[in-house]
Chain A
Amino acid sequence: MNRKIALTLLLTASATSAIAGPIEEQIRFRQSAYSFAAWNVAKIKSQVVDHPETFNKDAVAAAANAIAAVANSGLGALYGEGTDKGVGWKQTRLKPEFFQKKAEVTVAANTFNEAANELAKVAATGDVNAIKVQFGKVGESCKGCHDLTRIKE
């Protein structure tokens, strides 16, 4: 009897951790990915928009490549079923409707990927004005996805 209870407890515990672990990991990884992207976005903003006199071609190109790398890393894999609830570094703000809007989400995500890849290309040229324009498009693509999938603060 005691062994049965122990076995049940063990199985329950492992089953819970098998679900909770990956979900919270997915949330944590994606939060980290966007934080890292945000740092690089902030650097470009600073050197291209706010203080163009500090523009450094290599730094901006590196930042743009980092954003593109995040975009191309297959982030979709971090949006598994059930990841609309859970705590990564903090509570996720993914809308539950996310899972019913897969088609729209895919379009929005691809818009971001394309915009980020284009930004990396433009950044390599060092043309500040062209970078500024494309940077705005990346921002729009971020917003497109946020409006669709993220619960407002």
Chain B
Amino acid sequence: MKVTIHIWDLPLRLFHWLLAVAVAAAYITAKIGGSLIDWHGRIGIFILGLLVFRILWGFVGSTHARFLTFFPTLPRLVAYLRGRWQGIGHNPLGALSVFALLAVLAAQVGTGLFANDDIAFVGPLFNFVDKSVSDRLTGLHNTIFDLLVAFIVLHVVAIVFYRWVKKTNLVVPMLTGKKQVPKALAGSITVSPARGFGAIGLILSLIISCTVVWGVTGGIAYLHPAESYQQTAQADPGF
């Protein structure tokens, strides 16, 4: 007997799929370049907003979205590797992957904010560092991208592995939010349906995410203007 229980809340699922689409779009726009590089920048800022939201959601989201619920502690990892871990949501190994992906994406967005393409694009915080620093961060942005691809490949391979070897479909629950679990397991502490996210937590998370986005796109420059050589065409030099 199996029962269907709710594990992934809607904001978490939206975060996941928006992130997947945004990362793909960021890759394509960077690859093509030209005018699309500006879209790469906008998408990057959108990803920043998503990441800030996910971090906050790790504290105020529903049960299986919370970092403490699935934090990959050593005892949990050992139990999982010995086949003794029971639960739904992120398993301890998957949790490592979640934190790794979030960290790599944060580093990618963070370096991108200061990056330049030596053509016609600079990140929104470019003017706050020296060009040489920006160049180095751009180099890191290129390197971290390879790391990101590696983790995404691992992520997808793991999903395929669970589907074909362990006969567990991970994609459908991420779409519907619902997962089928054996009735015997349902109701135990680790296999409890998601609960506990409130409107206040959601609204606050959204407000803070939007504030961070506003901060990097205009807020910091407004509060603390940085010199920009791009403005040099606006003054009439007289010669």
- A contact residues vs B (CB 8 Å cutoff): 34, 38-39, 41-47, 49-50, 54, 56, 59-60, 63, 132-133, 135-137, 139-140, 142-143, 146, 152-153
Counting chain A CB atoms within 10 Å of each CB, which of B35, B36, B229 scores highest?
B35
Which of A38, A56, A139, A152 contacts B234, CB < 8 Å? A56
Interface residues on B, range: 20 to 34
Given contacts A39-B229, A143-B34, A143-B119, 11 further A-B contacts (CB under 8 A): A41-B119, A42-B120, A43-B232, A45-B120, A46-B231, A46-B233, A136-B34, A139-B35, A143-B33, A152-B139, A153-B142
* A139 and B233 form a contact (CB under 8 A): no
* B35 and A136 form a contact (CB under 8 A): yes
Offer 23 A-B interface pairs, CB within 8 angstroms, sorted by A. Answer: A34-B118, A39-B229, A39-B232, A42-B229, A43-B232, A46-B233, A47-B234, A49-B38, A54-B234, A59-B234, A133-B35, A136-B34, A136-B36, A139-B33, A139-B34, A139-B119, A140-B32, A142-B119, A143-B34, A143-B117, A146-B118, A153-B136, A153-B138
For the complex, what is the distance from the CA of A88 to the CA of B82, rounded to whole Å?
A: 59
For the complex, what is the distance from the CA of A82 to the CA of B234, rounded to whole Å?
A: 41
For the complex, what is the distance from the CA of A43 to the CA of B233, rounded to whole Å?
A: 6
* B142 and A42 form a contact (CB under 8 A): no
Kindly report which residue of chain A lies nearest to residue B36, judged by CB atoms.
A136
Contacts across chains A and B counted by CB atoms under 8 Å: 67
Q: Does B230 contact A (CB under 8 A)?
A: yes
For the complex, what is the distance from the CA of A133 to the CA of B37, rounded to whole Å?
A: 13
* A153 and B233 form a contact (CB under 8 A): no
Chain B interface helix/strand/loop/mixed: helix
Contacting residues, chain A, for B138 (C-beta < 8 A): 153
Contacting residues, chain A, for B35 (C-beta < 8 A): 49, 132-133, 135-136, 139
Contacting residues, chain A, for B36 (C-beta < 8 A): 136
Contacting residues, chain B, for A60 (C-beta < 8 A): 233
* A137 and B120 form a contact (CB under 8 A): no
Contacting residues, chain A, for B232 (C-beta < 8 A): 39, 43
For the complex, what is the distance from the CA of A50 to the CA of B121, rounded to whole Å?
A: 11
For the complex, what is the distance from the CA of A127 to the CA of B131, rounded to whole Å?
A: 32
Q: Give per-residue flags for B158-193: 1 if the beta carbon is below 8 A from chain A beta carbons, else 0.
A: 000000000000000000000000000000000000
- Please report which residues of chain B, range 25-65, place their CB below 8 angstroms from some CB of chain A when the two chains form the complex: 32-38
For the complex, what is the distance from the CA of A142 to the CA of B230, rounded to whole Å?
A: 18
Contacting residues, chain A, for B118 (C-beta < 8 A): 34, 38, 142, 146
For the complex, what is the distance from the CA of A152 to the CA of B118, rounded to whole Å?
A: 11
* B230 and A139 form a contact (CB under 8 A): no
Kindly report which residue of chain B lies nearest to residue A90, judged by CB atoms.
B132
- Please report which residues of chain B, range 102-136, place their CB below 8 angstroms from some CB of chain A when the two chains form the complex: 117-121, 135-136
